Amino acid sequence: MKHYKLQKILSVVFKITTLVFFFSPIYNSPMKCYKAKWILTSADEVLRDMAIVVDEGKIIDIIPNDKVNFEEKYVKELGNAVITPGFIDLLTQYQYTDISDLKPNDFKRKLKKFFRMCALKYNFAGVNQDNYSRKWAGILSNYHALDRNQKIESFKHGVTESIKAGTTCIAQVSKEYKYFELINKLPIKNYLFFEVFADTKDNSKKTFKILRGKIEDFIFHKGENTHIGVMLNSISGVHRKLWELFSKYCRKHNMLIMTRFAESQDEIEWLEHGFSDIDLLHKFMGMRKITPYQKELTPVQYLDNLKVLTKKVLVANANYDDENLNELAQTGVKFIYQPLYSEEICNKKLDFKTVLEKFEGNFGLSTQSFKNDRSFSMLKLASELNKEVNLEIPELIKYLTIYPAKILRLDSTIGTVEKGKDADFNVFKLDDGEDYNDLLKHEIPYSVYSKGRKLIKRGVVRFSL
């Protein structure tokens, strides 16, 4: 009986304690507060002399700086600084980051590279060095000559440099399943798009079955930062059967599809004539010759007939004429603008003004590049592009934040600095006399946060991969 009474008393005490805690002022807990001169929210307002309050990885309030009454150790005085949402890179392939610098590290790998380079020269004999298909064959030769550890270190290097530049969400493309465990443990949000190819109807069915099983397994094991999608390589690299299978599957399971879209003259010629230099690339990759299910169709018509193009499809590049761009924009697909990659690999790129006209508010950027001295800074890329159109800074920042967040359907948690969102944000320190309009002078942030965790401070990495 005494034991029962004691249990009852403890139960009452617990309930009272819970109620006191619940109704107590929320700021009594050890939360952190970041005071800045400027906050670019990407939510149609620029805040001045305000502070964001972060608790358990979430922004729980935004209050005036002069209303902050936290303990000093929980307050970060940023001074004349700009806080922005974390940046989102819509197409990354970080496994290729160091392929130009790394060399095969044993005799077997060196021999493999030698034979691949011989095969490249044989298959592409007489083809211009500047040719799209030949360039990709060279990239793949360099990559596949590396061992597993070199590939993973190359990936880690790319991710680290990207985070240092303020990117807190990536859309990574790879056909290799080994990157899942690594990506799944990243301290930033990520979309992993598994890339597929298929050259026949039977191979399409086999590829679909394998990847479907993998996806279902990965979804069961993925962490809260990781999301899964499908990358159908390109119109010319995927048999129509695989387009049909994955289009139906992704619609049913509400998944995103990504594809490279009319990014080279090789692909345009393939659609028109049924053959082009793209066939040499496929042969080099060990694929059989793929032919269009119908010739003389535009890229939009080709995929639209297969019922592929929907609002859940992300297309990269589309480096072709004005009329077809209008046709593409009308389908409602999301656009990935890759100016560096297009110029280097595709030998052609859309200008930023055209992209804005066709896909206003419906596209994001990619910093993908294969140059040794490439920059991972999305802000630097945006700054260069903005010289063409001179957008207001708050609007320009939306193309690095909220617009791509909506494209990836992650805008309920990231993309803006707002109450209730994850505390993914960058801090840019300004010089004396500068305001948020001078943000583009500062390519690299002072500090980078993901879910309230400081990942970067003054260029120093505070996480491990």
Place of tokens 């505390």: 423
List, in sequence order, every residue forming a beta bridge with 447; answer none if it has no partner: 427, 457
Strand 334-337 relative to strand 313-317, pairing: parallel
- What predicted TM-score, i.e. pTM, was given to this entire model? 0.92
What does the alpha-carbon distance between residue 414 and residue 21 come to, in Å, rounded to a whole number? Answer: 29
Residues 6+ apart with CB under 8 A from 108: none
- The pLDDT value recorded for residue 28 is 43
What does the alpha-carbon distance between residue 291 and residue 264 come to, in Å, rounded to a whole number? Answer: 17
Amino acid at 41: T
* pLDDT tens, residue by residue, 223-278: 999 999 999 999 999 999 999 999 999 999 999 999 999 999 999 999 999 999 99
Question: In CATH terms, is domain 88-407 a member of 3.90.1150.10?
Answer: no
**Segments in the chain below pLDDT 70:** 1-29
What CATH architecture is 29-86+420-461?
A: Roll (2.30)
Domain ranges of the chain: 29-86+420-461, 88-407
- CA angle at 363 for the pair 307 and 295, rounded to the nearest 5°: 35
Report CA 300 to chain centroid distance, whole Å.
24
* pLDDT tens, residue by residue, 278-296: 999 999 999 999 999 999 8
What does the alpha-carbon distance between residue 156 and residue 152 come to, in Å, rounded to a whole number? Answer: 6
- CATH fold match for the domains 29-86+420-461 and 88-407: no
- The pLDDT value recorded for residue 23 is 39
323: phi then psi, degrees, rounded to nearest 5? -60, -45
Residues 6+ apart with CB under 8 A from 447: 426, 427, 454, 456, 457, 458
Residues 6+ apart with CB under 8 A from 198: 204, 207, 238, 239, 241, 242
Instruction: Count the neighbouring beta carbons within 10 Å of the beta carbon of residue 430.
Output: 22
Q: Where is 345: in which H helix or E strand?
A: none
* pLDDT tens, residue by residue, 369-413: 999 899 999 999 999 999 999 999 999 999 999 999 999 999 999
